Amino acid sequence: MKILAIYPNANGSGRIPTGLAIIMTVLQNAGHELGLFDTTFLQESNSDDDTRIRANFVKGVESILVPDSALSSELSTCDGMPAIMYESLSEEEICERLLAKLKQFNPDVVIMSIVEDNYKWADSLLHVVKTYNSSIPVIVGGPTPSAAPDVLIENPRIDFLVQGEGEEVVVELCDLIERNSGAFESVRNLWYKVNGQACNNTLRQFLDMDAVPVQNVELWDRRHFYKPYDGVLYWTGYFEMSRGCPYQCTYCVNHTIKRSLKASGNYFRRKSPRLAIEEIKYHKDKYDLKRIIFCDDNFLLMSEQKFIQWSEEFKDAWMTEINLPYWIATSVEFINPRTLQLLVDTGCDGIGLGVEAGGEWLRQNILKRRQANKYMKNAFDMIHDYGIRTTANIMMGIPGECEEDIFESVKLIQYIQPKSFSVSLVAPYIGTEIHRAVVKLGLIDVLDKPGFKGMSTDVSFRQHSTIRNSNITLERLAELYDSFSDYVSGKLQIPEKYRERLPLQGDRRGKDRNEASLIVADTINRLTKPE
Ligand code: B12
Ligand code: SF4
């Protein structure tokens, strides 16, 4: 069959989405002909990076490490992603391009990967598909369909929805569609419609990660390989080593998905280092990669026992076959001399860690992240002792937050001194506890349209705060977002009244919280109580 994959990227961030790339690969391996319509570079710029550059969270590009120098002169002076990479089409023009692609490729099936930030844009593109030919089956998957399948399946433009991992499901489903069989009840993890009524099947076991095939990224635009990092533009490849995370952060969709797929077994899985490295080696040789980014939620997540065995295998294979600098995300609990020695020995040059909020009360009671500030400081110091660059990720716009909390975050950054930091806004994604709490408390406006029921009207992670907060106006929050790095650098003075307390003492503040904060914490507590 001819299958058209649509990547409805709404913010222009370059990087091949691993999930959709794998789904396309399994379909190709099953004998289907794949086409791709990717909106990433049709837009004006990478609006996510633009915001981060404006707020001084990332620095401009000072040098380049890419195999071809065609773009050198422009690249050497650019900030984030070079503007010349973008075609700056309007939404109407992009829709016209999609229509032209549909006419030229004439697909039997359309597939799409959805995150909540791009869902409205995805829906507009599906409108083009269904106007072109309403009988083309549309299959969706990805984080938002997995977190709220009951909501998305009501979208009249969606025919099939895959909950969770799609590798096996999509192949079984496309086989049925090709054979014109309606036996959809046999496909586990599938949501579909019978006479307009939503139906869903039982769940399958999580996939053995060694069964995930080597990604075929031939159809993807090469511009996805450009990635600025610490002032250098690298030619970068993206891979996964593991899936899953044990934590239960209230704002995280991964934790929501894990909970809804409880019947599927052990969510956390790891690839054999040898197989993972075979895939990376294949891509390194084929595309002349200069740097690797791992998209695992928590790269180091494993017991000490497991680590000893895994690290030996990883180290040997990595140094012999890859030997490139790489970046990981992990959490402070897994930072110790043993893990750091491995990272240094194998060329890891950057670690991203979720710090989230300086105020311990807020972090523990609203976000359900339990690490103390002192513990964070030790972890960052240790990483710096090993010469590895750190990025601390902070969040603002947390329900119940007040201005003082934001200055606690500024002070925490000053205290732990990461090599860089990035601030994002809490997006109340459907399915998360934060979403349920803010809906309950009337702190967001929600949509009522079929396919969107209960979703925030304007979810955003970087552009603006979605959640209202009686402790702080949205205007003040935006102001503090833009000036956060100036407070950290000392260019702006932290207001006197917030200065004296060290972030270390944050825990005590629970006693002083105002009613608005306590109500949010109470609502979250009720929602997170084990059933
Ligand atoms: C790497 C990454 C990125 C990359 C790649 C984006 C992408 N679409 O994959 C970049 C940097 C570009 C990115 C950008 C953004 N990201 Co991001 N990202 C991640 C991260 C850390 C890993 C994703 C990954 O590769 N996982 C591994 C793959 C194998 O898993 P997967 O993508 O879920 O795919 C599997 C299934 O979902 C399913 N599936 C996926 N697509 C499809 C399609 C079909 C047809 C089928 C059948 C199945 C299917 O099968 C796949 C294989 O099993 C996740 C966190 C996470 N762990 O998921 C956040 C995450 C996906 N990102 C998120 C967000 C918010 C964003 C941004 C909106 C942020 C921003 N403002 O810039 C943008 C959106 C860009 C876009 N248009 O997609 C959120 C989404 C939350 C939500 N509810 O919508 C997540 C979940 C992080 C979080 N916890 O909040 N991101
Ligand atoms: S640690 Fe990260 S991936 Fe894990 S639940 Fe928290 S936010 Fe989600």
pLDDT score of 140 more than 90: yes
Question: Does ligand 1 come within 6 angstroms of the Cβ of 22?
Answer: yes
Question: Does ligand 1 come within 6 angstroms of the Cβ of 146?
Answer: yes
What's the gap in Å between 318 CA and the centre of ligand 1?
26
Question: Does ligand 1 come within 6 angstroms of the Cβ of 253?
Answer: yes
CA proximity to 462, closest of 13, 83, 6, 7: 13
* Residues in the ligand 2 pocket, defined by CB under 6 Å: 245, 247, 249, 252, 254-255, 297, 331, 354
Can you spell out the DSSP letters for 6-40?
Answer: EE--SS---S--HHHHHHHHHHHHTT-EEEEEE-G
pLDDT score of 79 more than 50: yes
Question: 498 or 73: which carries more pLDDT confidence?
Answer: 498
Is residue 127 a contact partner of residue 18, using CB atoms and an 8 Å limit? no
pLDDT score of 503 more than 80: no
User: Among all ligands shown, which has an atom nearest to the Cα of 429?
Assistant: 1
What's the gap in Å between 116 CA and the centre of ligand 1?
10
- What percent of the chain shows pLDDT beyond 70? 91
Average model confidence (pLDDT) across the chain? 91
pLDDT score of 297 more than 50: yes
Give the residue whose CA is nearest to atom 34 of ligand 1: 19
Question: 477 or 503: which carries more pLDDT confidence?
Answer: 477
Among 3-17, 62-76, 123-137, 294-308, the range with the most confident prediction by mean pLDDT is 123-137
Question: Does ligand 1 come within 6 angstroms of the Cβ of 336?
Answer: no
Q: Which of 251, 253, 254 to mutate to test the pocket of ligand 2 (most atoms within 8 A of CB)?
A: 254
Give the residue whose CA is nearest to atom 7 of ligand 2: 252
What's the gap in Å between 292 CA and the centre of ligand 1?
17
pLDDT score of 382 more than 80: yes
> What is the DSSP secondary structure assignment for residue 414, as one 8-state letter?
H
Q: Which of 3, 4, 18 to mutate to test the pocket of ligand 1 (most atoms within 8 A of CB)?
A: 18
pLDDT score of 50 more than 60: yes
Question: Does ligand 1 come within 6 angstroms of the Cβ of 18?
Answer: yes
Question: 49 or 249: which carries more pLDDT confidence?
Answer: 249
Beta-strand relationship, 291-294 and 389-396: unpaired
The domains found in the chain, sorted by start residue, are 2-46+87-200 (3.40.50.280), 221-429+473-528 (3.80.30.20)
What's the gap in Å between 500 CA and the centre of ligand 1?
40
The 3 state secondary structure assigned to 264-299 is: HCCCCEECCHHHHHHHHHHHHHHHCCCEEEECCCCC
Question: Does ligand 1 come within 6 angstroms of the Cβ of 242?
Answer: no
Q: Which of 115, 242, 243, 247 to mutate to test the pocket of ligand 2 (most atoms within 8 A of CB)?
A: 247
Summarize pLDDT for 456-475 with one digit per residue, the tens: 998 987 778 899 998 999 99
Helix, strand and coil in the chain, % to nearest 5:
45, 15, 40
pLDDT score of 226 more than 60: yes
Does this model's pTM top 0.75?
A: yes
Atom of ligand 2 at shortest range from CA of 246: 4
Give the residue whose CA is nearest to atom 1 of ligand 2: 247
pLDDT of residue 71: 56
CA proximity to 269, closest of 230, 241, 234, 228: 241
What's the gap in Å between 256 CA and the centre of ligand 1?
14
